[in-house]
Structures are given as structure tokens and as C-alpha cells.
Amino acid sequence: MVFWEGYVSDEAMGTFAPIVVYWLYAGFYQLLPPLDNYRLHTKKEEVKNSVPLASVVKGVLLQQLVQATVAQALFLLTSKANASGIVIQPSIAVQIGQIVVAMLVMDTWQYFVHRYMHHNKFLYRHVHSQHHKLVVPYAIGALYNHPLEGLLLDTFGGALSFLVSGMTARTAVIFFCFAVIKTVDDHCGLWLPGNIFHIIFQNNTAYHDIHHQLQGLKYNYSQPFFPIWDKLLGTYMPYNLVKRPEGGFEARAMKD
């Protein structure tokens, strides 16, 4: 039993809930006061970003339109409803297992596609560099990508995670909303005390901030959950979180 049962279909929730959650969570970060004592970059450093907020919002909305279209098609093609139109939901244990599988599949897909986009000069220059125009990451820009990257990296990665894990649309609501929240948090640019993602996940805001720095461009590709592939394939760059005298923190790469 879920709170939307009887009001909205699982397929509609799986399509639109992640979009709503994205803007609610990213909007929450956007509306926070400066919080200079917890920032990974100073406000002055934001001038390094070469794309205005309005363009970022348009880019994210375009990607979400594509994702919603693909999600609707995917749910229709893989419907598990019986003759009565009812989908039998697996046990909680099975759903948890499916979510873990989906996390690993998404991490694997995104690592190798993301890494290839950095090593292929054409793809980096014409596609992936758009995301790196946000040298100082912020929450709303988490899904700011070139449309082709959005399709290959996020949309296809999400579809593959859904298909391989065998989850139902109802489980997908939970998984994709969680993935969105994690992705937004990784780009929020803040190191807030008690942030559960910083406590549980080694791949977090500071970890991904290293990747947005010049010396970390070819390291810390893993996203959005675990740093497994970085550690296995030699692209892991550890860091120190150093407190700045003027307030806030700096994620400082530790080179070998």
C-alpha cells in the first residue's frame, strides 16, 4: 500500500515524481541563505561558471522532458499487470534487492560512459564539457547536460537499471526519486553537518567536487552511488576537507 494508490497510477508516479522531487530538493538548496561556513566554494568563485542560471534551468527541463517520454514508453512496454489489470508487488526484501541491483547497474553504466566522454576529445569538447561549464556546482545544475549526454548517460542508464533489476513501476518510484535526491545532493556545493549522504556514502558532495576541479577532471568518475569502479580502475582521487580561514571548506585533492 502506498499513499498514491487509488489516486495516481504507479506509472504516472514513476514518470513525474522524480521530476517534482528534483525541483523541490534543488529548490530547497537554492532558497537557503548563503551559509558561507559550509560552502565548498566561496560566492566569489561562482564567476567561474560560464552559463547563466536561466540556461541551466532550460537545459534541465529539456532533459526531464526526454526522460519522462522514455519512462512512459518503458512502463507501457514492460507492464506486469495481470488479466485484471493488477500488478502483484514483490516482497519488501525482493524490492530492496532490486534497488541494490539497479544502483550497481546505474553506477556501472554511468562510470564507463562518463569516463569515455572525458577521454574522447570530440565527445568532451562538443558534449560533456557543457556540464563542466559549472565549475562551481550547485543543486539546480545537477542534471544540466548536453541533450545527447542526458539521453546516453542518465536516461539510458536509468532505463537499463530498471530493466536489469526487474523492478515494478512502484519500486521504480522509490529508486528514481532516491537517485534524483542523491544526484542533487552531490552537486549542492555544501558540506552541511549531519547530512546523511555524507555519512553513508563515500561518493558524496566533496567527492564529486574533486571531479569538477581542473586536477580532478579525469578522476572520480563514479556517480551517483558508490566509488567502486574508480577504486578498481585507478581513477580514484582521495581528498582532504580543509577548513578555509574565511569560512567554509575546500575539498583538496591528495595526489600520489
- The predicted-structure confidence for 210-239, as pLDDT tens digits, reads as follows 999 988 999 999 999 999 999 999 999 999
Q: Is the pLDDT of residue 190 over 90?
A: yes
Q: Which three cell numbers stand for residue 168?
A: 515494478
Q: Which pLDDT score is estimated for 66? A: 96
| Alpha-carbon radius of gyration of the chain | 19
Over pLDDT 70: what percentage of the chain? 99
Predicted local distance difference test score (pLDDT) of residue 60: 97
What is the overall mean pLDDT for the chain? 95
In this predicted structure, what is the pLDDT of residue 82? 74
Find the distance separating the first CA and the last CA of the chain, reported in whole Å: 51
Would you state the pLDDT for residue 80? 77
C-alpha cell of 111?
562510470
Predicted confidence at residue 255, as pLDDT, reads 73
Burial of 142 (0-12, 13-18, 19+ CB in 10 A): buried
The whole-angstrom separation of Cα 39 and Cα 42 is 6
pLDDT band at 22 (very low <50, low <70, confident <90, very high): very high
Mean pLDDT of 27-36: 94
